Amino acid sequence: MSAAPSRPSGGQAALVFPGLMLGAFFVVPFGLMIAVSFFQRVQGGFYEPVLTGANYARFLSLFFGEILLFSLGLSALVALVCLLVGAPFTYLLTRLSRRAQVPWLVALLAILSLSEVIIGFSWSTLLSRTAGVSNLLVALGLMASPAAFTPSFAAVLLGMTYQALPYCVLVLYPSFSRLDPSLGEAAQTLGASPARAFLTVILPALRGALAATFVVVFVFALGSYLLPQLLGRPQHWTLSVLITDQAIYQSNMPFAAAMAVFLVLASLLLVSLAALFGAKRAGGAA
Amino acid sequence: MTRLFLALIGLFLAAPVAIIAGVSLNAQQSLVFPPNGVSLRWYAAIATQADWRNALLTSVSIAAFAAALAVAIALPIAYALWRRTTVVGRVVQLLGVSPFVLPPVITALGALAFWSTAGFYGSSFTVVVSHAIFFTSLPLVTLTLGFSSIDREIVEAARTMGADERAVRRTILAPMIRPYLVSGFAFAFVLSLNEYIIAYMTVGFTMETVPIKIFNALRYGYTPVMASISVLFVALAALVFGLVARFGDLPKLLGAWERR
């Protein structure tokens, strides 16, 4: 294969620039963030390098424990809803002709790339009293007078599901589209209804991919930093929102950094769990 | 049954966009739906109101530079890994993918701590660099896919005929990689355009990008321009991904098999 490499490096010299860039502007900031989480806050400034465990001690209180639990619970719920809707949707999408799939994929990508600010703004408009769906319901005679559905927990859940659903579908897309179509056809030839074939043949065949997707969407939802703030009440704020709030509005970077470390640990734990599912799936397929 | 389910999902995905599209047509300075009269003045306002026009230009230039830098970081990684899979290559690849996998607040907070410590907090280049790092994983994924689709026998043949690495890169790799390069750039560009939190934590107090401006308008005073510029952003994203689909194979790019 590499019988006549013109240079002994074998193209490895190309790694210098990306390595330096990622080292300087990802590894160093990341390390600095961890360091800052152990530093002392300076009122009106950023931090001073005096070691303290106070930022972590503050996080380990009941209040922040509840926020961590709420964030995890909300993200798990979002991931579950996305999977319940996304799995059958992705299945039907991949059964379409490739030509017919393209507009759906374009739409999903466009929504996935939408700014959280724009998603939050459109959902708060959609759920508002003056411009929202309730006006439509009034016009149809289903409601007596227009009402606002935001801020509320349901609004947060709806907004986050909207944000995460395209992501969920695109993560599921490769597994579903590589699935042998004869699998479902065989089940239907043997007399199973399409829905039954989906539930008893397709889903079990993809359970590894589904579990991995659940975790990946979970982490994605955990990263939502504006929607709980724009669509919910303060008690619906998640860890990501709180980190932003501490860093920007309370200018307490050390405490924000300590919370961020928790968020990283939770995410890494979940991602390695997903990798485990992935490895199991690869092992099962071989 | 299938049609109904797909239609419902389509409705769910389209509803918020439809509402803001309706709101953006209001003839008066109000955000009601259905719109009060129909006019396109809020679309014209994107160009005529200096603050919104500047925000749009700021966002577009940041996104263009950041996407170019992201591609410049991703291309050598994908190339080196294609030439030979080494431990160092794998580590750099992992570093390239990590920022995007972690919650965005992490990159944002790291950038805030880093740029303020380095003394560049608020400078316009900081957001370009931090966006490029955050979005490196997108061109990295498309380019890795692109390199893996190159038939190595073609490269072997060229070498046998006496082509050196430079000639191989110019005559074989470049044309075969170009569509993946362009789509990687497009993904990074559109996402950078829409990114809020990293931009806010690097240049939030010195510059206004479109997402930052919409957020500020949400807090300090609504204007229908928020709606018209949001619709413009949706249209822009759809256009870019539509072009990627038109000139490339979108299903394949997103992980479907080649055949069928």
Closest to B212 measured CA to CA, from B64, B65, B56: B56
Which residue in this structure is represented by tokens 């806010």?
B200
- Going from N- to C-terminal start, the domains of chain B cover 51-253
Which residue in this structure is represented by tokens 């240049």?
B203
Domain assignment present for A28: no
Top-confidence residue, B81 or A276: B81
- The whole-number average pLDDT for the span B207-233 is 92
Distance from CA of B132 to the nearest CA of A (A): 10
In sequence order, the 6+-apart residues with CB closer than 8 A to the CB of A41 are A47, A55, A252, A253, A254, A255
* CA–CA gap between residue B132 and residue B123 (Å, rounded): 15
Tell me which residue range forms the domain holding A208: 62-285
Query: Can you give the C-alpha Rg of chain B in angstroms?
Result: 22
Per-10-residue mean pLDDT for chain A, 286 residues long?
A: 50 91 96 92 75 83 84 95 96 91 95 94 88 77 78 93 96 89 80 83 87 91 93 91 90 90 89 74 46
Query: What is the predicted pLDDT for the residue at A3?
Result: 43
Residues of B in contact with A274 (CB under 8 A): none
Which 150-189 residues of chain B touch chain A by CB within 8 A?
Answer: 152, 156, 159, 164-165, 187
DSSP category for residue B32? -
The CATH topology of domain B51-253 is MetI-like fold (1.10.3720)
| Closest Cβ opposite residue B95 in set A27, A101, A240 | A27
Distance from CA of A269 to the nearest CA of B (A): 11
pLDDT-wise least confident of A52-61, A84-93, B49-58, B71-80: A52-61
In sequence order, the 6+-apart residues with CB closer than 8 A to the CB of A96 are A104
SS3 letters for A139-191? HCCCCCCCCCCCCCHHHHHHHHHHHHHHHHHHHHHHHHHHCCCHHHHHHHHCC
DSSP category for residue A15? G
Does residue B258 surpass a pLDDT of 60? no
Contact A248, B204 (CB under 8 A): yes
- Which pTM does this prediction carry? 0.90
Contact B109 A116 (CB under 8 A): no
CATH number, domain of A228, equals 1.10.3720.10
Which residue in this structure is represented by tokens 């900081």?
B126
Contact B159 A11 (CB under 8 A): no
How many distinct structural domains can be found in chain A?
Answer: 1
Which 88-107 residues of chain B touch chain A by CB within 8 A?
Answer: 88-89, 92, 95-96, 98-99, 101-107
Contact A7 B200 (CB under 8 A): no
SS3 letters for A48-67? ECCCCCHHHHHHCCHHHHHH
Closest residue of A to B95, CA-based?
A22
* CA–CA gap between residue B214 and residue B222 (Å, rounded): 9
| Closest Cβ opposite residue B251 in set A6, A36, A177 | A177
Query: What is the predicted pLDDT for the residue at B187?
Result: 94
Residues of A in contact with B9 (CB under 8 A): 85, 89
Query: What is the predicted pLDDT for the residue at A201?
Result: 85
Please indicate if any CB of chain A lies within 8 Å of the CB of B130: yes
Does residue B213 surpass a pLDDT of 60? yes
SS3 B151: coil
Contact A130 B32 (CB under 8 A): yes
Domain assignment present for A38: no
Residues of B in contact with A229 (CB under 8 A): none
Query: What is the predicted pLDDT for the residue at A278?
Result: 67
Does residue B251 surpass a pLDDT of 50? yes
Closest residue of B to A4, CA-based?
B159
In tens, the pLDDT along B166-190 reads: 888 888 888 889 999 999 999 999 9
Closest to B1 measured CA to CA, from A201, A183, A195, A108: A195
